[in-house]
């Protein structure tokens, strides 16, 4: 993405890219596809040493960003994670870190954030219903019982719940959305792994059967605004991840079109292929611009950040899938081979399009913004 990086940000990006190429390039990720966990915790801790989970955490809590623009710094890594279809909980861990940093009590911040920053505590956000839809916590009820709350219900399509140590759970408490920090091994918590389209990720449904948590485990004052703030972070990081994946897809497809010979000529010299590649290059640039706009708006806390983020999520979610499909077409039959890497990127892109709200859902949000303000800003 065209972020006009500072020297420090460029060094951070180059260091992270070198780490990925050395530790877990795309070819090596295939070896983890059959693993129940999907990634190695030692690898995660080494990535944490680069600051991958520190950017949205204040220095006072053990974190710190490269440039003073935390979300912009985080999207630099998110783009690389998508470009190399990296496994693991990069997005949900950063969302949880940002949530605890913003709304946590001093005790919660000191107990959780240093461990998350170090990659020692795996945390994820359990926000969706059993179908993966946003429901403001309605599918999980929290009832007060003295100094505790008792959770009953379910959260669906929870990323990396299989390996998570901590769940930031969205529930309905006292008739409004609330969030509760729940240990994944707490009595009454059961995790059911799901088959995921993206082979580099692990999704699961989580059931809560009278799970008891202390009042000190409730995060912040709750309410829809708190959830939406976290959603904006998740959207910005997911858009950057998608842009990284489709940028790599287009790069590989252009290279293939130059090398593949048909009728004595590279297929990229044929007008029909040129038109396809030119169109995809244009759409790629518009996706980059949308992702940058979302990241900058959310990072700056602009009044219309929610609108910009949803517009970016809706546009990128649809267009990125089209780009991936066209790249598949240019590759022809070889693109359908299991051994070819192309489908790994296509799977990532399609999964991202539904991860934190499908494009149609975000378009509905944009329409609601229009209803409220009378104009699209």
Tens-level pLDDT at each residue, the chain (377 residues): 667 899 999 999 999 999 999 999 999 999 999 999 999 999 999 999 999 999 999 999 999 999 999 999 999 999 999 999 999 999 999 999 999 999 999 999 999 999 999 999 999 999 999 888 999 999 999 999 999 999 999 999 999 999 999 999 999 999 999 999 999 999 999 999 999 999 999 999 999 999 999 999 999 998 999 999 999 999 999 999 999 999 999 999 999 999 999 999 999 999 999 999 999 999 999 999 999 999 999 999 999 999 999 999 999 999 999 999 999 999 999 888 999 999 999 999 999 999 999 999 999 999 988 877 765 55
User: Can you state the angle between helices 342-355 and 305-331, rounded to 10 degrees?
Assistant: 160
What whole-number distance in Å separates Cα of residue 81 and Cα of residue 270?
A: 33
Domains contained in the chain, CATH given? 7-121 (1.10.540.10), 124-217 (2.40.110.10), 224-373 (1.20.140.10)
Beta strands in the chain (DSSP E): 123-126, 140-145, 148-159, 166-173, 176-183, 189-194, 203-214, 261-262, 265-266
DSSP state of 295: H
What whole-number distance in Å separates Cα of residue 285 and Cα of residue 290?
A: 9
pLDDT, residue 371, reads: 78
The vertex-41 CA angle with 39 and 45, nearest 5°, equals 120
The residue whose two tokens read 């623009």 is: 69
What whole-number distance in Å separates Cα of residue 76 and Cα of residue 55?
A: 11
Q: Could you give the 3-state DSSP secondary structure of residue 181?
A: strand
pLDDT, residue 372, reads: 76
Tokens of 40: 């190695």
144: left (phi over 0), alpha (psi -120 to 50) or beta: beta
pLDDT, residue 375, reads: 59
């Amino acid at each position: 993405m065209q972020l006009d990086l500072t020297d420090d940000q460029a060094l951070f990006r180059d260091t992270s890219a070198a780490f990925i190429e050395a530790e877990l390039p795309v070819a090596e990720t295939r070896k983890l596809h059959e693993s129940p966990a999907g990634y190695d915790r030692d690898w995660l801790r080494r990535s944490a040493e680069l600051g991958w989970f520190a950017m949205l955490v204040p220095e006072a809590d053990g974190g710190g960003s490269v440039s003073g623009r935390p979300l912009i710094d985080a999207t630099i890594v998110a783009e690389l994670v998508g470009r190399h279809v990296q496994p693991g909980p990069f997005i949900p861990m950063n969302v949880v870190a940002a949530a605890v940093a913003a709304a946590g009590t001093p005790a919660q911040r000191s107990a959780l954030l240093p461990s998350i920053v170090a990659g020692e505590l795996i945390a994820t956000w359990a926000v969706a219903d059993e179908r993966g839809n946003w429901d403001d916590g309605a599918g999980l009820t929290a009832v007060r019982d003295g100094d505790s709350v008792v959770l009953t219900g379910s959260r669906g399509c929870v990323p990396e719940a299989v390996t998570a140590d901590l769940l930031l759970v969205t529930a309905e408490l006292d008739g409004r959305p609330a969030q509760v920090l729940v240990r994944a091994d707490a009595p009454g918590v059961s995790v059911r792994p799901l088959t995921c389209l993206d082979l580099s990720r692990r999704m699961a449904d989580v059931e809560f059967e009278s799970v008891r948590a202390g009042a000190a485990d409730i995060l912040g004052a709750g309410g829809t605004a708190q959830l939406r703030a976290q959603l904006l972070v998740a959207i910005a990081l997911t858009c950057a991840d998608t842009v990284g994946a489709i940028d790599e897809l287009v790069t590989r497809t252009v290279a293939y079109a130059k090398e593949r010979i048909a009728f004595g000529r590279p297929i990229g010299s044929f007008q029909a292929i040129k038109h396809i590649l030119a169109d995809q290059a244009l759409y790629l640039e518009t996706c980059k611009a949308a992702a940058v706009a979302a990241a900058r708006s959310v990072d700056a806390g602009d009044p219309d950040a929610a609108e910009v983020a949803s517009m970016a999520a809706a546009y990128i979610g649809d267009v990125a899938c089209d780009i991936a499909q066209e790249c598949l077409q240019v590759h022809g039959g070889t693109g359908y081979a299991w051994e070819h890497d192309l489908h790994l990127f296509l799977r990532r892109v399609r999964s991202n399009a539904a991860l934190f709200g499908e494009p149609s859902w975000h378009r509905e949000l944009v329409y609601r913004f229009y209803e409220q303000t009378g104009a699209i800003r």
